[in-house]
Structure 1
Amino acid sequence: MRDLFYDLVRRNGMPVAIYLMLAVTLWVFILIVLPQLTMFDYSFRLNLPPGKVGGPEDVYTVEQYAYLFQGSGGAGNINTLDLGILFKTLFSAVFVTVFDLLICYPVAFVLAKSSTGAKARLLVLALIVPYWINEILRAFAFRILFGSTGVINEFGMGLGLWDNPVDFIRADVALYAGLAYAYILLMIFPLYNAIESLDRNQIEAARDMGASWWQVHAKVVIPYAKPGIASGMTMVFMLTSGALAAPQILGGPSNLWFTQLVYQWFNSGGNWPRGSAYAMILLFVCIALVLLTMRIFKVSIGEIKR
């Protein structure tokens, strides 16, 4: 921290350095640390009426966490419904993350190595402009697109690919497509930044030595771009697993996202301690999965921050 402060002073001067340090500290503490600590404390409380808060009944307990595993039946029971929703949410988030990676890697490579100057800037602008539209409006656009009378069904039936409208909403196709589209830029730009810094001569040298196009990517580009891949996958996975608007709009009638359970406990259920516990469980599980993935692929936090 001291080295960072001295570096800021050297680059920007003392007043700017002090302002930046204070602004970042307040941002991290007030908007990240303090709310998380408050929610963590709430998660170990009982759901008491306001008049009993702070009284003898207001004690710390793990009841809210136990409910996720046992439900209302107590010890010996398994809350298969909520646990199933949690696992489905995590699996779906992994699927969307991998899907985005497969789509974005070729795009990022073309942007970084095959496009230069005005052409590259035009492609970047074409990627950004659609995101000037509000996320809610984009989600409703996908619902219309994948609806029973939407463009895709009309186009498919017009070509004779299927006779009756396909229920893309109930099959979660619309949800996965909407989530993949919602966070696709968060995958493209870390990949683009990583691949762009790769010396083009390394690619040419590998090709001159007889490496196939697949071998060039497998042996040269992908290992070099691992920090960018890890960064993009982390952001897409965390935001997908914590999404609420898209599952609410694009999810089928029998499909629930774990964040919807959190929302229900906070609002319609009126049980803030249980909602806090569910939110903390989702946070801890997601962080654990991200750290495990980083360990498997041998990527450190220091590499990602670059």
Structure 2
Amino acid sequence: MSVAQLIDPLPRDRTASPHVSPEAARLCVNASSAAAGVSAPPLIHARNVSVFYGQLEAVRSVTLAIPANSVVALIGPSGCGKSSFLRSINRLNELIPGCRVTGQIFVGGRDIYDPQIDPVALRRKVGLVFQKPNPFPRSIYENIAFAPRLQGIRRRADLDAIVEDCLRKAALWDEVKDRLKAAATGLSGGQQQRLCIARALATRPRVLLMDEPASALDPIAIAKIEDLISQLKHSITIVIVTHNMQQAARVSDYTGFFYMGGLVEYDRTATIFTSPANKRTEDYITGRFG
């Protein structure tokens, strides 16, 4: 099965999860695309997803739909399962010994856990940026060019164009364009994180997963990452795990609150932060526990 098949439209599904309000389910299914109010089905649809580490059930029967070209924030206390769920969207949990995932996750209408799906090809289309920046011990240029080379791109002019395009999209080009041969590890923490985002963009993903991408950064670097997220969502669907409630409110269109492995509530971000339907959601976002 080709990677291109991963971006086929999802079939419409109007069945609401018991964890998701009917209104949120309707919004997800009928969410407007970036193109002038055209209705679009969700790009990502998780159905009854559970994640186990041995006998421990870290994620319990999560169902939610994510519209294309939106930002979805996953919030909740540490250990509630949000990062485990995030990693299940590009099958990275498979690399953890003893971990297994049940249920279905559709990306572009294809069940990504279908045996015919190549997980490596999937991860090119569903990238992941980790909490701690992890640049390759190579030059800034080679960090971006690495993946395109693996995909068979060899012409220097083509690689140059990809490197510049990705660094511009990550709002890093103007800061590094005169030192592309310098070691990536010499960049500041915020620059390294934006480099990792640029590196993920080099495979032209449809989805970008972010696991607390700004938690270790200073306020200026955090603002740049948030601005970047707002710009990228016009062409990429973004799912971000964050413990920063203000950040979730600023950057996301939808928010899901996880607690003890379950999805307690999922709705438009404005609704979650102003009139949550569940008392546990209200208690968490107001700092009464967490």
With the shorter chain as reference, the TM-score category is under 0.3
Determine which structure has the larger helix proportion and give its number: 1
Name the TM-score, length of structure 1 as normaliser: 0.22
Determine which structure has the larger strand proportion and give its number: 2
Rg: which structure is higher? Answer: 1
Name the TM-score, length of structure 2 as normaliser: 0.23
